Amino acid sequence: MGCNAIRTSHNAPTPEFLNACDQLGMLVLDENRRLGTNAEPMGELQRQVLRDRNHPSVFMWSLCNEEWDMQTDSAGRGIVQAMQNLVHSLDSTRLCTAGINGSLSGVTFGSVLDVKGLNYNIPYNLDSYYPRYPYSPIIGTEVGSTVTTRGIYTNDTVNGYVASYDIITMSGLPNPMTWGETAEDWWQIYAARPWASGGFNWTGFDYRGEPTPYNWPCINSHFGQMDTCGFPKDLFYYYQANWTLKPVLHLFPHWNWTTGRKINVWVYGNCQTVTLYTNGVSLGQQTLNVQGHIEWDNVTYASGTLQAIGYNNNVAVITNTVVTTGTPAAIALVPDRSTILDDGLDVSVVTVEVLDAQGRVVPTATNNINFSITGGTIIGVGNGNPSSHEPDQMTNQWQRQVFNGLAEVIVQSTNQPGSIVLTATSSGLTSTNVTITEAATLPPPAAPTGVAAVVGNMQVTVTWDIVPGAATYNLWRATTSGGPYTLIAGNIGGVNCGYTDNITSLANFYYVVTANGANGNGNSTNSAEVSASFLTAPTLAPISNQTVNVGQTVAFTASATDTNSPQPSLNFSLLNGPASATLAQINNTKANFNWRPAVTNANSTNVVALMVAVSNSPGLSATQNFTITVNPLPLPTVSSVVWNNGRLTLDVTNSILGPDYSVQASSNLFNWSTLFITNSPPMPFSWTDTNAATLPAQFFRIKVGPPLP
């Protein structure tokens, strides 16, 4: 998701948690549980600081959270000062803060804190405090509290679900969230104020209790950017677009609805513009602000595909497609790690997916899945459903209902090397199993996947997906495909999911990424290679829409402009258009388009798309779209038939410029022979048969083309 810091609200973290943050490069706001100066809370605070102060991940101490009574009482200032003095005596290298949920002005213990911590109450508290104390550090100790449920897109008061859109609903809910902000609101506020040190979003995961905006029988919160199983909600990708280097285009909701239903479609991402398509039909293009979203409201649902294409500088750079799935047909088990330690402690977190016959996750599936295991132990199951009363642990038959297509099983090793086999079955679904290896040592992590390179101003930003079991990453570069590669940056933390390489010369570059094991278990093999070119995309001259008759040829020269020096080879292509249309490249920057509409094209509008691209870098391209409208075709009329001295003359009217016309004759109305063809004749036109006197009795007709025999 790209967060770079975690607040351990509202208690001290475990040592294992801090060890993980040390490895991953994650900052930690280490929080004390209780406010007080008597022996017990001061002793707890002292032990916490002594235990955690040698962890490099800890960057600041939090003394307390939302002490409603004491934060405005004069005695509170003395208590906080004493606690802060204790921390400074034990650790002189770090500052202290606390979560204040009221005003920063007036008599509060915030006045004695090293760093002012603000919970919500923005932007007023920020903007009223800063002008008076511009050199006083301030941080958002708690922001957001946006409530959403994974895979749900309408508020459901019966089942205790909240729509996954970034909206705060104040009516119709029993316990509405009245104090917080949407993700877009709080992040835009802090991003626009560089003197404030960002904010800790409440919360990373859903958690048991506080089922806002509902009450029992809903059993856990909806605040998380991930559910209790760690499955991302839609807002996860809003933050990923803002906080990582990864190219992001997240399209939602799913596309399994009833025909004709009106659906609000949202997109998060970090490209410049987005075009939305339903079953290939464009619903228009919109400009995207990375700190917001774009939406198409009341889209009429029809089964098929929902596709978003993202553009930068009018070049398509990223695509996301959501499809209508079939009914549940099979189960998939996906372990985060397929090899774990045989120490009786290590675990593999296995994602359970319900798939249709084509292998796609069914986003509305609710099937109950049964689990059995040999060689290991199941220690927990879950599905992220905030209203599920199913047990997470069992003594006999392990089972769990999937929630919107997903569930989770946690498998623990034994003390012996060997194989763990987890099996999943469900009535009406194809069963499956997965093997997890127990070993004395772990293999190196897998090679990173999802590697991409984006060219900027003398920079290449290379991004990748997080690898389970990896702590850090290495970026390698070459000037020829296949290497040899030179290390550009080593031990890169996973927070940003990428690295920006500063370039000193214009050339083609080739990158691979390797992952470093979190347990001293070596490095991965190279990722798939990606390339980056500092060539710029060509441009295409605008092409006007045209209206023609049947038979009237549409012909023009498409012209491209390329500013690279030396100029690369360009390729023209016809992305879309009538089947008989042609595009013939005549030199590096020009191509001739030609199309002559046939009778079958009458009364039609034809969308044509031309593209020019750099030959060895097809991502560097430009596209021009235009339409050719073909007018309706009137039927010709024989206005007169004249017989004169052995000659037969037909006068044809109601004809138009463009089509071809032929005169055909038949003696039986079944077999016709063509006597005359004229291509786009002047209107009206006449035809005379000078040998009519020698012919038997015949029928005549006028036929229109193209095509004609």
**Catalytic residue annotation:** 66, 142
Integer CA distances (angstroms), 272 to 311, 463, 593, in order: 6, 18, 30
Q: Say whether 134 sits in a helix, a strand or coil.
A: coil
How far apart (Å, rounded) are the C-alpha atoms in residues 242 and 25?
Answer: 19
Is the bond into 203 cis (omega within 30 degrees of 0)? yes
How far apart (Å, rounded) are the C-alpha atoms in residues 437 and 335?
Answer: 11
Residues 386 and 161 sit within 8 Å (Cβ to Cβ): yes
Question: For residue 183, what is the DSSP state?
Answer: H
How far apart (Å, rounded) are the C-alpha atoms in residues 166 and 238?
Answer: 10
CA atoms within 13 A on the CB side of 578: 23
Radius of gyration of the chain (CA): 35
Structure token pair of residue 224: 């998380």
CA 195 to chain centre: 30
Structure token pair of residue 325: 């799935």
Query: In DSSP terms, which residues pair with 61 in a beta bridge?
Result: 30, 96
How far apart (Å, rounded) are the C-alpha atoms in residues 655 and 23?
Answer: 81
Residues 122 and 181 sit within 8 Å (Cβ to Cβ): yes
Structure token pair of residue 543: 């092409």
Q: Say whether 453 sits in a helix, a strand or coil.
A: strand
How far apart (Å, rounded) are the C-alpha atoms in residues 205 and 224?
Answer: 4
Residue 576's identity, in one-letter code, is N
Residues 197 and 137 sit within 8 Å (Cβ to Cβ): yes
161 C-beta neighbours (distance < 10 Å), count: 24
How far apart (Å, rounded) are the C-alpha atoms in residues 699 and 536?
Answer: 65
How far apart (Å, rounded) are the C-alpha atoms in residues 464 and 476?
Answer: 13
553 C-beta neighbours (distance < 10 Å), count: 11
Structure token pair of residue 457: 């101003």
How far apart (Å, rounded) are the C-alpha atoms in residues 688 and 681?
Answer: 15
User: How large is the angle between the packed helices 39-52 and 74-90, nearest 10 degrees?
Assistant: 40
Strands (DSSP E) contained in 483-589 are: 486-493, 498-502, 508-517, 530-533, 539-540, 546-548, 554-561, 570-576, 582-587
Q: Say whether 178 sits in a helix, a strand or coil.
A: coil
Residues 602 and 668 sit within 8 Å (Cβ to Cβ): no
Query: Among 269, 240, 264, 268, which residue's Cα sits nearest to residue 254?
Result: 264
Enumerate residues 6+ apart whose C-beta is below 8 A from 96.
Answer: 60, 61, 62, 63, 83, 84, 87, 88, 113, 114, 115
Residues 553 and 529 sit within 8 Å (Cβ to Cβ): no
Quote helix, strand, coil % in the chain, to nearest 5. 10, 40, 45
